[in-house]
């Protein structure tokens, strides 16, 4: 599949797609991460939080569609602020808060195109830094980010007690 395009989200029209992609990512991640919620209200809860971030942090939502208009995936980018110990010129940065590509469309450039849209948005905002996070175990996402020149910055460790 090489025939797809990226467009900006249109809400509330695109909300059902967003809910579908939130649910898809949650199900995917639940296969290797036990803390993922799968209850009936999760997607609505998370959608509301993400839309608030988009609205208050100069964010954008992007959808990938095939030539027939079928949605293949989405990404959300918004501004974030680092701690005060970070140099001022790097403190405000772009953050890719959500990225999901339907299984049938993976490995065909859709994720790369969505990441490029997020990077373009960050450049338009005058930002010089963009970050993204991925769960350990999400090897496909980690490979995509490394292939698009992202490098490790922070490692977060946890321990259940």
List the domain range (segments joined by +) for residue 46. 4-147
DSSP the chain: ---EEEEE--TTTTHHHHHHHHHHHHHHHHTT-TT---STTHHHHHHHHHHHHHHHTT-EEEEEEETT--EEEEEEEEEEE--TTS-HHHHEEEEEEEEEE-GGGTTTTHHHHHHHHHHHHHHHTT-S-EEE---TT-HHHHHHHHHTT------------
Classify residue 157: in a domain, yes or no: no
Nearest CA to 61 out of 100, 29, 24, 104 is that of 100
CATH of residue 136's domain is: 3.40.630.30
pLDDT at 149 (0 to 100):
95
Predicted TM-score (pTM) of the model is 0.94
10-residue block means of pLDDT along the chain (161 residues)? 90 97 96 94 97 98 96 98 96 97 96 98 97 94 95 93 96
pLDDT at 58 (0 to 100):
98
Domain count, the chain: 1
Classify residue 152: in a domain, yes or no: no
Classify residue 156: in a domain, yes or no: no
């Amino acid at each position: 599949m090489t025939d797809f395009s990226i467009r900006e989200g249109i809400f509330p029209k695109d909300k059902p797609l967003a809910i579908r992609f939130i649910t898809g990512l949650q199900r995917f991640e639940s296969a290797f991460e036990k803390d993922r919620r799968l209850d009936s209200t999760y997607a609505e809860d998370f959608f509301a939080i993400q839309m608030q971030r988009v609205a208050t942090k100069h964010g954008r939502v992007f959808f990938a569609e095939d030539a027939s208009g079928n949605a293949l995936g989405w990404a959300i980018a918004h501004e974030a602020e680092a701690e005060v110990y970070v140099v001022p010129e790097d403190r405000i940065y772009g953050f890719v808060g959500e990225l999901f590509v339907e299984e049938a469309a993976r490995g065909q450039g859709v994720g790369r195109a969505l990441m490029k849209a997020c990077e373009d948005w960050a450049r338009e905002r005058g930002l010089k830094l963009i970050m993204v996070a991925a769960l350990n175990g999400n090897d496909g996402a980690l490979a995509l980010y490394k292939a698009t020149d992202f490098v490790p910055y922070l490692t977060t460790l946890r321990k259940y007690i």
